[in-house]
Amino acid sequence: MLNQESYVILGDGCQIKGISNEAASLAGHWGLGKLIAFYDDSRISIDGDTEMPLLRTLTSVSKLLDGMLSVTTTIVYGSPNKANSYSVYGAALGEKEVEATRNNLGWPYEPFQVPDEVKGHWSRHTPKGSALESNWNATLAYEKKYPEEAAELKCELPAGWEKALPTYTPESPGDATRNLSQQCQQCLNALAKVVPGFLEINLRFGVREHGMGAICNSIALHSPGLIPYCATFFVFTDYMRGAMRISALSESGVIYVMTHDSIGLGEDGPTHQPIEHIASFRAMPNTLMFCPADGNETAGAYKIVVTKRKTPSILALSRQKLPELPGTSIEGVEKGGYTISDNSSGNKPDVILIGTGSELEIAAQAAEVLRKEGKTVRVVSFVCWELFEEQTDEYKESVLPSGVTARVSIEAASTFGWGKIVGGRGKSIGINSFGASAPAPLLYKEFGIIVEAVVDAAKSLF
């Protein structure tokens, strides 16, 4: 079992959140050694005095700990009128009370003035720190003699590491992207020396999604060389969305491997079928939302997310088997959106069909139908909106020429947000209600996420 020293800072509010129980039960189960808590016992939470309305669960928590320092603290110590009161939790003291507090504490210094005594205390440590730093840098002279080992020590990705990723052709048998994702992980794991920080250790979190996300944040933030990925059903991001937002906000490059990406999961029914989730993450800042369509796109996503150490990534992966599509590529995924096929011979196509994930196949099939009827059709994979957004205007125009207003998008999810891509004339095929429990092909038919719907929508625009 893990046996590193762990310190926990506990406030009054912390203990009543569900995530604390998830983390505490994992700590107990994993037998974490030297778990030491500092408990800031101010008896004030944002919901008021903790004595009265809130159950204080400290006693039960303390059984898990090897040591606990409980400090009975006073919130806004020294403030003559507001110390120990809830009113200071969410509001500044104000100029008058700050003045009264300074007088009360006998603090004569100007705002932001550090007293010499304090400065002296800290600067005493500067020579010691400088010596330690020089020493470390001298040790790193090692780097010149053993560059490969040094790169590994610093968890740097050496050139060409991405060659470890699998590639596929349309002749490959095809699979669920959740399985193709595992193939990528296995390739990276087998080459742990190539991607040194990619975590091979499998932590079993149970169904503690919120705790899982938070722990992965800590792993990623511990060092940029550690690359954690965690997995659950896509719909259960609802349980760990708080941790995922912290990934984005604190620039923690966690890889969220989210399987069962749509109604295509079938019989588990609407409680397990994501609808609004893709849109909800496309709207979240500093978050990459990938919907890979096959093996090449899954490998392409891994190529990117492993290097994105300051941005969390979400991979929405299918449970159902998908074919390898002609035209998909790792290089295409790096652009976020790209053309996988076009029979317009360099001219403007009659229509652009835009698909993501499992629906890229449907777009490709609809294109075949329309082409047989003499139409020129472009098929675009829109695997990661955020990466497409980062491309030059020229590139974007080359994929989605503004002169082509006949556009149809297809994605087995909420159509929310697609208006910007398909434009005022365009059509979006998706699902804006909850799903149902049935085999995937039946559900796709029932909700109209089918080739015929794409063909009809395209024809309505000619």
Query: In the complex, what is the shortest distance from the CB of residue 47 to a copy of itself, in angstroms, rounded to a whole number?
Result: 5
Closest distance between a copy of itself and the C-beta of residue 10, in Å? 14
Q: Which of 359, 236, 276, 261 shows the shortest CA–CA distance to 316?
A: 261
From 135, 186, 271, 398, residue interacting with a copy of itself (rule: CB under 8 A): 271
Rounded to a whole number of angstroms, the minimum distance from the CB of residue 420 to a copy of itself is 3
Do 293 and 383 meet the contact criterion of CB atoms below 8 Å apart? yes
Rounded CA separation 294/290 (Å): 12
Judge whether 213 and 254 are in contact, CB under 8 Å.
Answer: yes
Crossing angle (nearest 10°) for helices 359-372 and 451-459: 50
The string of DSSP codes covering 442-455 is HHHHHTT-SHHHHH
CB of 98 to a copy of itself, least distance (A): 15
Query: Least distance to a copy of itself from the beta carbon of 154, Å?
Result: 29
DSSP lists the bridge partners of residue 50 as: none
Cα separation of 229 and 306, whole Å? 10
SS3 36: strand
Q: Which residue of 98, 118, 283, 442 would you call a contact of a copy of itself, by CB under 8 A?
A: 283
Query: In whole angstroms, how close is the CB of 342 to a copy of itself at the nearest point?
Result: 22
H/E run at residue 367:
helix 359-372
Rounded Cα–Cα distance for residues 360 and 340 (Å) = 10
Q: Which is nearer to a copy of itself, 80 or 206 (CB)?
A: 206
Give residues 192-211 in contact with a copy of itself (rule: CB under 8 A): 204-208, 210-211
Q: What one-letter code names the amino acid at 202?
A: N
Residue choice 267, 390, 397, 452 for contact with a copy of itself (CB under 8 A): 267
Q: What is the β-pairing status of strands 377-381 and 338-342?
A: antiparallel
Q: Which of 434, 441, 448, 452 binds a copy of itself (CB under 8 A)?
A: 434
Paired tokens of 236:
């259960």
CA dihedral 303, 309, 313, 317 (to 10 degrees): 40
**Residue whose CB is less far from a copy of itself, 54 or 369:** 54
Considering Cα of 439, then 440, then 442, then 443, what sign does the dihedral take? positive
- Judged by CB under 8 A, the stretch of 72-80, 129-137, 273-281, 368-376 that binds a copy of itself is 273-281
Q: Say which of 209, 297, 361, 386 is annotated catalytic.
A: 209
**Does residue 1 bind a copy of itself (CB under 8 A)?**
no
Q: Is the Cβ of residue 280 or residue 358 nearer to a copy of itself in the bound state? A: 280
Number of shown-chain residues binding a copy of itself (CB under 8 A): 64
Q: Does 380 bind a copy of itself (CB under 8 A)?
A: no
Mark residues 59-78: x for contact with a copy of itself by CB under 8 A, - for none: -x------------------
- 290 with 258: CB under 8 angstroms? no
User: Residues 6 or more apart from 200 whose CB is under 8 A from it?
Assistant: 189, 192
Q: Are 227 and 255 in contact (CB under 8 A)?
A: yes
Nearest approach in angstroms of CB 157 to a copy of itself is 27
Q: Which is closer to a copy of itself, CB of 252 or CB of 280?
A: 280
Q: Residue 156 catalytic?
A: no
At 128 the three-state DSSP class reads: helix
- C-beta closer to a copy of itself: residue 24 or 165: 24
Q: How far is the CB of 283 from a copy of itself (least distance, A)?
A: 4
Q: Tokens 């020294």 label which residue?
A: 78
Quick one: which of 285, 346, 374, 403 contacts a copy of itself (CB under 8 A)? 285
Beta-carbon count within 10 A of 387 CB: 19
What is the per-residue binding string for a copy of itself in 388-427, x denoting contact by CB under 8 A? Answer: --------------------------x-xxxxxx-xx---
**241 lies in the binding site for a copy of itself (CB under 8 A):** yes
CA angle 397, 431, 267 (to 5 degrees): 130
- Residues numbered 10 to 49 that lie near a copy of itself (CB under 8 A) are 13, 16-22, 25-26, 28-29, 45-48
User: Which run of H or E residues covers position 116?
Assistant: helix 116-123
* Residues at the site binding a copy of itself, with contacts judged by CB under 8 A: 13, 16-22, 25-26, 28-29, 45-48, 53-55, 57, 60, 90, 92, 204-208, 210-211, 236, 238-239, 241-242, 245-246, 248-249, 267-268, 270-271, 275-276, 279-280, 282-286, 414, 416-421, 423-424, 432-434
The residues carrying an active-site annotation are 209
